[in-house]
Structure 1
Amino acid sequence: MAGIFALNAECGGRETHARDLARHFDGWTSRVFSHGTGWWCGVTPEGLSETGIGSGADAAATTAAVRRLYWLLRTAPPVYRYALAGGGGEELRKYDTLMAEDLTLVPGLVVSEDIWAAAGRRLEFSDFAPGYRWIPYHGERYTPAR
């Protein structure tokens, strides 16, 4: 997967919510931006490869950084609707696009209880934090080109 890894959280129509979430990640590189009809907070770990997972060491470093981001997200203020870590922008799904997918096929996806209920309260989701469920993140893998 190419691109810079980030944890992106969609905060609905309120820029103040995205700013509150960015403040929670104090010490990390974060940005607040609008995408589609929502406001987002993106948090990027420092020191990761900008060309994707090119080695086992890249996979291990990325996995460790993303796990730290999810750990911090567990204690974040409940101002986001959904969040996902990834690289290359695929984690920036608009709400309508997200709801049209099989959410159980998106490892690392964190959703509010409202979204989980709207998606049918699928058993594949686990508790994440009060008011949130997720499809657990299992880490990155290096797959050499053949």
Structure 2
Amino acid sequence: MAWIYALNAECGPRENHARDLARHFEGWPARVFSDGAGWWCGIAPEDLSSNGAHTAAEAAAMTAAGRQLYWLLRTAPPVYRYALAGVETDEFRTYADLVAERDLTIFPGLVVSEDIWAAAGRRAAFSDFAPGYRWLPYRGETHR
């Protein structure tokens, strides 16, 4: 089974929002898909390990890609509700699952809308990310 590294963003019930976000990442391999509850935009950089970070070099390559993806996400149109970069982050939580989660700080790199952050208790661990969004700063990937 492949372990794909990607930035995945949940864009709510409107497919066009996910497509708008995919267009923002022009030049990066993008995939728009639905989990039945919402639309997602996934950006999966090419030439990364497809079985996780088993070496320091693989972890460094994934971390560099993640930093670039988050940098681009900062200037993206505000059409997503939450996003996360890492291995196997596609559909990591439905919107209902995410807002029901007791402690969002277990997801380093998680970017959430101000609405989700407020509903989750305005945890101090989250910092400003972009207008309308907060995040748990991305720490990068480690090898196992």
Give the TM-score normalised by the residue count of structure 1.
0.93
Residues 1-146 of structure 1: matches in 2 within 5 Å? 3-89=3-89, 92-101=92-101, 102-143=103-144
Are the equivalent residues in 2 in contact too, given 1:85–1:91 (CA < 8 A)?
A: no
State the percentage of identical aligned residues: 72
State the distance in 1 between where 2:86 and 2:38 align: 19
Gaps of 5+ in 2: none
Q: Deviation at 1:86?
A: 1.7
Secondary structure of residue in 2 paired with 1:49: coil
Gaps of 5+ in 1: none
Are the equivalent residues in 1 in contact too, given 2:35–2:91 (CA < 8 A)?
A: no
Letter in 2 for 1:125: F
Q: Deviation at 1:90?
A: 6.3
Q: What is the number of residues matched between the two proteins?
A: 142
Q: Residue 91 and residue 63 in structure 1: after superposition, are their counterparts in 2 closer, same or farther (change >3 A)? A: farther
Q: Encode CA deviations 1:46-93: one digit per residue, 9 max, x unaligned.
A: 110011111010010000001100000000000000001121246621
State the distance in 1 between where 2:54 and 2:106 align: 24
Are the equivalent residues in 2 in contact too, given 1:84–1:91 (CA < 8 A)?
A: no
Q: Encode CA deviations 1:95-146: one digit per residue, 9 max, x unaligned.
A: 1111222101110000000100111111110000000000111011112xxx
Letter in 1 for 2:22: A
Structure 1 ranges of 4+ moved more than 2 A? 88-92
RMSD (Å), alpha carbons:
1.2
Are the equivalent residues in 1 in contact too, given 2:112–2:134 (CA < 8 A)?
A: yes
